[in-house]
């Protein structure tokens, strides 16, 4: 049994951007079997698991804009003009804890892991990977 | 310290269906203390923790239909007619990582673990269980 | 490699209340590196990670009230008059699984861990901490 850690740096180019990080994570896995924490160190981003289909990812952006409406006045916007980015992050969550099997993420056929930028563009977003297993 | 893995197969009979899998998980736990990753390998399903009360579970179905409205045209529906199922899965998440104590899930009195079918009926949905502990 | 467990007791004084528990968790971490499960044993509460800014936390309360509307009649309210508290908990989730590094939560600069009371005031809410690592 061991703990291994690593991290991914991501540059984003749009305000809302969904980036598939599955293969980057798989390349950095160095245990055979166990659990991996995938954690974004930013409160205006998210880590999610779902299908990598372009239309669906556009639908996600559309849905999030409908759930966190821009017709309201948010208090956080007096400090920093990104309240809606934080609020979307609360709903989508900044981490996932997933199974590892045979030295890879043990995902289903139609599943990928995504980093979601909610307040870009940004330079060097950091996602930490913490693996526990053997 | 050890890693143990197992899985549950679930057949669903409705389009939206909530199934309590707490006792099935407890029967498959074979460590005494640690953490368990409960992960659905499908992007139109979810794993959640809450109270097993029939009225509340109906309220959850109602709320999800109100959050992911069917009055919009979703791009993913051109590919596969289940965009709303995926979008609900983004909001509810396909995994939970929970504590194990005394060879069982360490839940509160009013908590159960549920598999939520969001695009059924389906045959042999797979939920993986990955335990790390001792 | 080892498993360590601990817990936090929280008294809340309002119906909706957000409490920063980051430093309490850090005080109870007794591994150097690994993963921690932070789990609330209550189905009308949540554990989330985001920025500790007073205006933003008010915005979160406002958003949750807009997502889980009180204009509807919920079935669970016939049993116990707190359906909306449970429904908010489904959306925010009752747990987080986070990385530990150098004997502390490995959070970003603008991140804190919060316990969210969704049906207070309550006495002795319990949050369990389960650490796996070395």
- Domain limits, chain B: 2-133
Mean pLDDT of chain B: 98
Mean pLDDT of all residues in C20-48:
98
Quote the pLDDT of residue C126.
98
Please state, in angstroms and rounded to a whole number, the distance separating the CA atoms of residues C21 and C113: 6
| Closest CB from C5, C87, C95 relative to B98 | C95
β-pair partners for A10:
A125
Please state, in angstroms and rounded to a whole number, the distance separating the CA atoms of residues C133 and A3: 6
- The chains found to touch A (3+ Cβ pairs under 8 angstroms) are B, C
Task: Determine contact: B48 vs chain C, CB below 8 A.
Answer: yes
Whether the CB-CB separation of C90 and B60 falls below 8 Å is answered with yes
Quote the pLDDT of residue A95.
98
pLDDT in tens, B13-55: 999 999 999 999 999 999 999 999 999 999 999 999 999 999 9
Task: Determine contact: A97 vs chain C, CB below 8 A.
Answer: yes
Q: Do residue C86 and residue B34 have CB atoms under 8 angstroms apart?
A: no
Quote the pLDDT of residue B127.
98
- Fold topology of B2-133: Jelly Rolls (2.60.120)
Using a CB-CB cut-off of 8 Å, the residues of chain B touching A63 are 68, 87, 90
Quote the pLDDT of residue C7.
98
Please state, in angstroms and rounded to a whole number, the distance separating the CA atoms of residues B75 and B117: 22
- pLDDT confidence tier of residue A27, bands split at 50, 70 and 90: very high
For A23, the 3-state DSSP assignment is helix
* Residues 6 or more apart in contact with residue A17 via CB below 8 angstroms: A116, A117, A120, A121
Q: Could you tell me how many residues make up chain C?
A: 134
For A87, the 3-state DSSP assignment is helix
Owner of token pair 């951007």? A17
Please state, in angstroms and rounded to a whole number, the distance separating the CA atoms of residues C2 and A132: 11
| Closest CB from B1, B34, B96 relative to C95 | B96
Interface ipTM > 0.85? yes
Write down the pTM of the prediction: 0.98
Q: Which of these, C100, B1, B96, C30, lies nearest to A5 by C-alpha position?
A: C100
The nearest CA of chain C is from the CA of A42 a distance in Å of 6
Q: Which of these, C7, C32, A104, C133, lies nearest to B133 by C-alpha position?
A: C133
Task: Determine contact: C128 vs chain A, CB below 8 A.
Answer: no
Mean pLDDT of all residues in B69-78:
96
Mutate to test the interface with B, among C33, C34, C37 (most CBs of B within 10 A): C37
Please state, in angstroms and rounded to a whole number, the distance separating the CA atoms of residues C51 and C20: 10
Task: Determine contact: B60 vs chain C, CB below 8 A.
Answer: yes
- pLDDT confidence tier of residue B116, bands split at 50, 70 and 90: very high
* Residues 6 or more apart in contact with residue C81 via CB below 8 angstroms: none
Whether the CB-CB separation of A97 and A36 falls below 8 Å is answered with yes
Task: Determine contact: B28 vs chain C, CB below 8 A.
Answer: no
Using a CB-CB cut-off of 8 Å, the residues of chain A touching B72 are 62, 66
For residue C98, give both structure tokens.
Answer: 């986070």
For residue B67, give both structure tokens.
Answer: 């959050």
């Amino acid at each position: 049994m061991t703990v291994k850690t690593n991290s991914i740096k991501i540059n984003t180019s749009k305000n809302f951007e969904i980036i598939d990080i599955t293969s980057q994570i798989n390349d950095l896995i160095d245990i055979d079997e166990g659990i991996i924490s995938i954690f974004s160190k930013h409160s205006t981003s998210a880590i999610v698991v779902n299908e990598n289909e372009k239309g669906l990812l556009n639908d996600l952006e559309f849905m999030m804009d409908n759930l966190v409406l821009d017709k309201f006045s948010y208090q956080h916007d007096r400090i920093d003009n990104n309240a809606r980015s934080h609020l979307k992050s609360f709903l989508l969550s900044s981490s996932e804890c997933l199974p590892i099997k045979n030295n890879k993420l043990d995902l289903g056929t139609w599943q990928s892991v995504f980093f979601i930028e909610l307040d870009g563009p940004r330079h060097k977003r950091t996602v930490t990977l913490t693996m526990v297993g053997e």
